[in-house]
Amino acid sequence: MNHTDDVQRTVAGSEALEVKSVSKSFGKGAALKEILGGLSLTVGEGEFVSIVGPSGSGKTTLFQVIGGLERPTSGEIWINGRQATGQTGHISYMPQQSSLLPWRTVAGNIELSLTIAGLDRNEAKRSAAEWLRRIGLEEYAKSYPHVLSGGMQQRVSFLRALLSPQRLMLLDEPFGSLDALTRLQMQKWLLSIWEENRRSVLLVTHSIEEALFLSDRVIVLSNSPAVVLEQFEVPLARPRSEAMWTEPAFVALKQRIYELLQTGAGVKEEAGYANR
Ligand SMILES: Nc1ncnc2c1ncn2[C@@H]1O[C@H](COP(=O)(O)OP(=O)(O)OP(=O)(O)O)[C@@H](O)[C@H]1O
C-alpha cells in the first residue's frame, strides 16, 4: 500500500459501508419489478448491524448489490470510503449453507483464508491450528467438511469469513438451517468470537431475537420495493448474555419491531407502491 492509499483511507472517514439511495429493478416494460426502492444505510467500522424485513423484500438482492454481483439500477455502494459499486472482492460473505470447499480439509479451508489475507504458508498452518483449538474443533483439522455437523460447518465458515482480508462481513441468514438449540449455541459462540475480534458486520436474519441479541443496531426493511422503515440502536451492554432476552428493553424493542413488520405491507400501500 502506498502513502496515497494511506491518506485516502484516513480521509475516508469511519463508515465501513455506505449504501447510497440504491434502487434495483428486474425485468422490462410491464414485467418491470422494482425490488430496492432508493435504499440508504450505513455500517460503521467495527459495528454489528442486522437487517430484518418481510420475506421477499429484497434482502438477498441488497447483498448481491453490496457484494458487486448485481449492479444497482441507480445509487452507489461505498466500502471503507471508496466507491465500490458493481465491484466484487471487497467483502467477506457467509451464506446460509456452508461455503467450505469440500475438497479441502477443515484446516485447509482456514489456511486458505489466511494465505489470501497475506500470511505465508507456515504461519497460516500455525494460525489455523490455533484457531481450530480455540473453537474446539482441533480433532477435525484433517477431516473433510462433510463429516462435520451443520453447526460445526457454520463455525468453520464464520471463522473463514472472519479471517479473510476483507474487513466487512456480510452474513446471510447464517444460522437459518440450524435447529433452535444449535442456533442459540451458535449465536452465543459467534458473539464470543466477534466481541474479541470486532469486524464490521451486516447480518440478514428472519429472527428479531437474533438481530437484537447480536447487534448494535437493527434496520427494519419495508416490503419491496424495499426502503429502510426504521432503525433501532440496541440498548444492551456487551458482552451480551442470554439473560438479556428477558430484560424489559429487549422485550419492548422486540415487540416494536414485530409490530412494524406486521404493518410493513400497510406502509407499502400508503407509499403508493401497491400496484407496481
Ligand atoms: N435475477 C432476478 N430476476 C428477477 N427477479 C428477481 C431476481 N432476483 C430476485 N428477484 C425477485 O426479487 C424479489 C426479492 O428477492 P430476494 O431474494 O432479494 O428477497 P429476500 O428478502 O432475500 O427474500 P427471503 O426473505 O424470502 O429470503 C423476489 O420477488 C424475487 O423473485
Q: What is the pLDDT of residues 154-183, one digit of tens each?
A: 889 888 888 888 889 999 998 888 888 888
Q: How far apart are CA 143 and CA 153, in angstroms?
A: 11
What pLDDT is attached to residue 125?
A: 93
Eight-class DSSP state of 274: T
Q: What is the pLDDT of residues 184-222, one digit of tens each?
A: 988 998 998 898 889 999 999 999 999 999 999 999 999
What pLDDT is attached to residue 13?
A: 58
Q: ω into residue 235 within 30 of 0, thus cis?
A: no
**29 φψ region: left (φ > 0), alpha (ψ -120 to 50), beta (else):** left
Q: What is the pLDDT of residues 245-254, one digit of tens each?
A: 999 999 999 9
Residue 273 scores a pLDDT above 50:
no
What pLDDT is attached to residue 236?
A: 93
The answer to whether residues 210 and 191 touch, using CB atoms and an 8 Å cutoff, is: no
Residue 23 CB neighbours (<10 A): 18
Per-domain residue ranges for the chain?
Answer: 102-165
What pLDDT is attached to residue 165?
A: 84
Q: How far apart are CA 204 and CA 66, in angstroms?
A: 13
**Phi and psi dihedrals of 80, rounded to 5?**
50, 40
The reported pTM is 0.86
Mean pLDDT across the stretch 215-240? 94
CA 137 to ligand 1 center in whole angstroms: 36
Ligand 1 pocket at CB < 6 A: 26, 35, 53, 55-61, 224
What pLDDT is attached to residue 180?
A: 86
CA 2 to ligand 1 center in whole angstroms: 40
What pLDDT is attached to residue 25?
A: 96
Q: How confident is the prediction for the chain on average, in pLDDT? A: 87
CA 22 to ligand 1 center in whole angstroms: 15
